[in-house]
Chains A and B, each alone.
Chain A
Amino acid sequence: EIVLTQSPGTLSLSPGERATLSCRATQSISRNYLAWYQQKPGQAPRLLIYGASSRATGIPDRFSGSGSGTDFTLTISRLEPEDFAVYYCQQYGSSPEVTFGPGTKVDVK
C-alpha cells in the first residue's frame, strides 16, 4: 500500500500570503495520479487538483499543483479568507488501492 505523508501538519499564514503544502509517497505514483482536496468544517471534501497539476472545474487559478514520482506540492499563490481549511492529498495510481494523506490544516496566523 502506498502511504502518503503530508507536511506540515498545520500551516499558520495570513491572508494574501503564499501557501506551500507537501505530499510525499512511499512509492512512485503511477501516471502522477495524485489529487488534492479542500475540506471546510462540516462540509464534504472538494476536488481541487487531479493528475498532479490539472485544476478541477471551477477552481480558481491561485491553486496550482506540481510534482511527480513521490513528491508533490499544492501551492496557493495568495490566500483568500475562504482558503483557510484542511487539505488532503490522494493517490489513485495504485489501483485498486486508493489512499489519502492525513491532511494539512491551513489556519489564520
Chain B
Amino acid sequence: EVELVESGGGLVQPGGSLRLSCAASGFTFSNYWMYWVRQTPGKGLEWVSRINRDGSTTTYADSVTGRFTVSRDNAENTLFLQMNSLRAEDTAVYYCTRGGDSGSSDYWGQGTLVTVSS
C-alpha cells in the first residue's frame, strides 16, 4: 500500500526556516517524480515544487522560487522541502504527493501544517 507521511510542520516566525520531510513506502520511490502542494483556506490548492526521479531536476512555483528547495534521498525513500525566508502567506497545509500520469498527483500524504506568525 502506498503511504506518504509528512512531518516537520509547526509555528515559525516571519523570516524563519523550516524543513519538511515526507517518508514514502509501499512503492519504488526512485521510480517516481514527487511534488509538494499546499492548501490555504483563502487561496485553495497551490502547486509548490516538483523533483524528478534522481533529484537532478527541480521546479518551483514563482511564489517560492529562491526561498524553497526540494530534494530527495532515494536510499531513505524520503522527500524534503527546505523553506527559508518564510512569510505569512506561506501559512498552509503542505502535502507531499506522488507524480502520476505526466503531472497529476496520484497519491497524497495527510499533510503537515505550517504557520508563519509572530
Q: Total A-B residue pairs with C-beta atoms closer than 8 Å?
A: 65
Contact A98 B103 (CB under 8 A): yes
A 59-98 contacts with B by CB, 8 A: 88, 90, 92-93, 95-98
Interface residue from A35, A44, A90 paired with B111 (Cβ < 8 Å): A44
- Chain A contact-residue range equals 20 to 34
Total contacting residues, chain B, CB less than 8 A? 21
Contact A50 B104 (CB under 8 A): yes
Please, how many angstroms separate the alpha-carbon atoms of A50 and B106 in the complex? 9
Chain A residue nearest to B35 in the complex (CB): A98
Contact B47 A33 (CB under 8 A): no
Please indicate the chain B residues that have their CB under 8 angstroms from the CB of A93 in the complex: 103
Contact B45 A100 (CB under 8 A): yes
| In the complex, per-residue mask of B77-118: 1 if CB is within 8 Å of any chain A CB, else 0 | 000000000000000000100001111111111110000000
Additional 5 contacts, C-beta under 8 A, given A46-B108, A92-B103: A33-B101, A35-B105, A44-B95, A97-B61, A100-B46
